[in-house]
Structure 1
Amino acid sequence: MRLLIVEDEVHLAEALTQILKKHNYSVDAVHDGQSGLDNAMSGIYDLILLDIMLPEMDGITVLKTMRSKGIATPVILLTAKGEISDKISGLDYGADDYVAKPFSTEELMARIRAALRRKGEVVPEDALKFGDIELNAANLKLACGGKELKLILKESELLELLMSRKNAVTSKEQIIEKLWGFDSEVEHNNVEVYISFLRKKLVFLHAAVRINTIRGVGYVLEATS
């Protein structure tokens, strides 16, 4: 899953990035409201951590603009302890939750998991199942028929994306945007490499699940009988 941090305190943003990466999230961080809005409008994020007090554009304006443009990505506001009116405004404009600074890592992670559940996503702590395979994104383990093996992070993220989309075709462009970011210089052959890795691991596990290529369109995960 890909998260966006919009926080002008650079050291805090860096600390949050490291914490979230340790929990196997992909993370982008920006430090002003306009950049936050530009990134949010891409629609590639599963959740946004949004500070209220930001340069160029405040967090409430970012949130209000997002919602007016139909961006429904869950948003958790990062607020100062006494900003009661801002918390109320944020919730009224469509924030999913807020966390008052300073906050504990445990509280933040719990609120992220809760917001993702409300959205209907499978959070990393839960096992994601498709056909006869089971992916635990929290520990990067793929299991099938009593056997399991460890994936690297990008393999896990790619398989999680394909599993969450079930029988829908996912293009290389969608994969790159989701796994590396919309402004990434990653090329299509990077996707092909990770698809190849995953295919070999599914064969190793004797899984009845295959990653099929739809020529000129993308990839689809299918369970065979």
Structure 2
Amino acid sequence: MTGAHRRILVVEDDPETAGQLVDQLTTSGYDVDLAANGREALNHGAARDYAVITIDRMLPDIDGIAVMRQMRDDGIVVPFLIISALGEVDDRVRGLRAGGDDYLVKPFSFVELLARLEALGRRSETVAKETILRVGDLAVDLISRTASRGGRKIPLLPKEFQLLEYLARNEGRVVSRAMLLQHVWDLHFDPSTNIIDVYVGRVRRKVDDQQAYPLIHTIRGIGYCLRAPG
């Protein structure tokens, strides 16, 4: 890893362990940010681009599993290295299924930690190259959480970005209101609200107004589709 790809977020609530990790990683050439709990981790993850996040399973407020799931739901694709004293097979499987990319059991060798970070960092660089979704002249950057059309930045609120991202991931496919409720708002029922139509209207105005052709199409009675002409 080089340059910006050497920035790591360490999520660890034990001060002694956290201090050792930060000191050793800094000495090894990494730029390190520290989060002492789950809320700090979520704030850091949303604000900065990391090559890898190391995370403890047992945190004092939001546990590591929940933190990873929330970041994945928010579209954060950075690799997670889980570092935990919970080393049973079921623990490791649960952590990996929740969004972890690797699992290291305490106590561990720092040499092994570095090797795993290097491997995940190489994966991170590859993923970063593949995380700009393009539909026509629309670009949706999953790393910076920004969108642009024809090179012009589109100002989007977080939920608006999530909606556009989901449509872009399903380019050319019809997405129902129920699918948007589930994947953008995490609702598994119809609350009899027009929230979908309101948000799609906002995003459509930002994406399609004063453009040569529309990208967001309403499929009457079903939902919406993001597609370029031709």
Specify the alignment match of 2:177 in structure 1.
172
Give the deviation of 1:132 after TM superposition: 2.2
Specify the alignment match of 1:76 in structure 2.
101
Specify the alignment match of 2:219 in structure 1.
214
Q: 1:172-209 CA deviation, whole Å, 9 max, x = no partner?
A: 33323333435799875322222101111223240523
Match for residue 61 of structure 1 among 82, 85, 90: 90
> Structure 2 matches for 1:3-14, cutoff 5 A?
9=13, 11-14=36-39
Instruction: Indicate if the aligned counterparts of 2:181 and 2:190 stay in contact, CA closer than 8 A.
Output: no
| Structure 2 CA distance for partners of 1:32 and 1:210, relative to 1, 3 Å | closer
Specify the alignment match of 1:22 in structure 2.
47
Q: Choose 1 or 2 for highest CA Rg.
A: 2
Instruction: For 2:145 and 2:74, locate their aligned partners in 1 and report how far apart those are by CA, in whole Å.
Output: 21
Instruction: Indicate if the aligned counterparts of 1:132 and 1:208 stay in contact, CA closer than 8 A.
Output: no
Q: Does 1:31 align with 2:63?
A: yes
| Structure 2 CA distance for partners of 1:63 and 1:179, relative to 1, 3 Å | farther
Identity in percent: 19
> Structure 2 matches for 1:144-159, cutoff 5 A?
144=150, 146-159=151-164
Instruction: For 2:37 and 2:104, locate their aligned partners in 1 and report how far apart those are by CA, in whole Å.
Output: 13
| Structure 2 CA distance for partners of 1:45 and 1:199, relative to 1, 3 Å | closer
Instruction: For 1:188 and 1:58, locate their aligned partners in 2 and report how far apart those are by CA, in whole Å.
Output: 45
Count of aligned pairs between the two proteins: 182
**Residue type of the partner of 1:143?**
R
Q: 1:157-184 CA deviation, whole Å, 9 max, x = no partner?
A: 2212211211122233332333343579
Q: 1:129-150 CA deviation, whole Å, 9 max, x = no partner?
A: 1112223341624222x54432
**Residue type of the partner of 1:61?**
D
**Residue type of the partner of 2:174?**
V
Q: Does 1:197 align with 2:184?
A: no
Q: CA RMSD, aligned part only?
A: 4.7
**Residue type of the partner of 1:113?**
S
> Structure 2 matches for 1:100-115, cutoff 5 A?
110=121, 113-114=124-125
Q: Tell which deviates more after alignment, 195-204 or 179-188.
A: 179-188
Instruction: For 1:83 and 1:140, locate their aligned partners in 2 and report how far apart those are by CA, in whole Å.
Output: 38
Instruction: For 2:191 and 2:179, locate their aligned partners in 1 and report how far apart those are by CA, in whole Å.
Output: 12
TM-score (norm 2): 0.55
Structure 1 unpaired stretches of 5+: 1-6, 89-96, 101-106
Q: Tell which deviates more after alignment, 175-184 or 14-23.
A: 175-184
TM-score (norm 1): 0.56
Specify the alignment match of 1:93 in structure 2.
none
Instruction: Indicate if the aligned counterparts of 1:133 and 1:207 stay in contact, CA closer than 8 A.
Output: no
Specify the alignment match of 2:6 in structure 1.
none
Q: Does 1:130 align with 2:162?
A: no
Specify the alignment match of 2:4 in structure 1.
none
Instruction: Indicate if the aligned counterparts of 1:213 and 1:220 stay in contact, CA closer than 8 A.
Output: yes
Structure 2 unpaired stretches of 5+: 1-10, 14-34, 50-60
Instruction: For 2:189 and 2:81, locate their aligned partners in 1 and report how far apart those are by CA, in whole Å.
Output: 22
Q: 1:105-134 CA deviation, whole Å, 9 max, x = no partner?
A: xx99x57835846xxx943xxx42111222
Specify the alignment match of 2:3 in structure 1.
none
